[in-house]
Amino acid sequence: MNTATELPADARVVLQFLPSAHCVTLDLLHPVVLGRGALTGSDGLIDLTGCEARQHGVSRRHCLLKRDGRFLIERAVAYANQREVFGGPIGANQGVQFPIADAWIEVEAANLMRWKACELIDARKPCGAEANMAKYLAAKASWEAANVCLQTHGGFGFACEYDIERKFRETRLYQVAPISTNMIFSYIAEHVLGLPRSF
């Protein structure tokens, strides 16, 4: 299957990744516009299988972690504002607020690392460490957001109508696949810290 698309010389391309796609290097909430200078591969071609960044450890199929983390936090916030106990919303309690805020901070920190990797990709510089760290931070943040969201919902978090239990299961997968956290630790240890190869 040919995944490259030929473009006219003055073309601009908008790539819109579907919610079922996996990506760590692009903002999944908005289309990404690439000028002709950003094209990789042969002149006039866009390789949608991972572009030049693949050689540095970045794959367009990594994960939707930022989006999942935000989805889960938005659900937790909405439920915490809506659910009332003892005459007020449960979100008015620090025991509910603080874990949600902590999860939000982790998701945003992962997002910053993701953008750092994107900047390196755009500059055609090696980005393996940044991409791996972004994937690790996003997987961890997404998992924490899932835990917080489930805890905020209590027993209702397991009801299919809320879509929380499904996302809870899915976010755990991101620590295992497509790249496990242990593989990321190995990469950082060897390529960033200069430790001997462990396998």
Q: Domain segments of the chain: what residues?
A: 4-56, 65-192
Q: Per-residue pLDDT for 127 more than 60?
A: yes
Percentage, residues of the chain above pLDDT 90 = 50
Q: Count other Cβ atoms within 10 Å, centred on residue 136.
A: 23
Residue with tokens 């008015």, as numbered in its chain: 92
Question: What is the per-residue pLDDT for 118?
Answer: 87
* Mean per-residue pLDDT, 70-95: 96
| 19-28, 99-108, 110-119, 151-160: range with lowest mean pLDDT | 19-28
User: Residue 66: its pLDDT value, please?
Assistant: 64
Q: Which residues contact 148 (CB under 8 A, 6 or more apart)?
A: 72, 73, 76, 99, 100, 102, 103
Average pLDDT over residues 44-50: 37
Domain 65-192, CATH 1.10.3720.10 — does that match? no
Q: What is the mean pLDDT of residues 97-113?
A: 95
The answer to whether the Cα torsion of 81, 85, 88, 91 is positive or negative is: negative
Ranked by mean pLDDT, the top range of 53-57, 93-97, 179-183 is 93-97
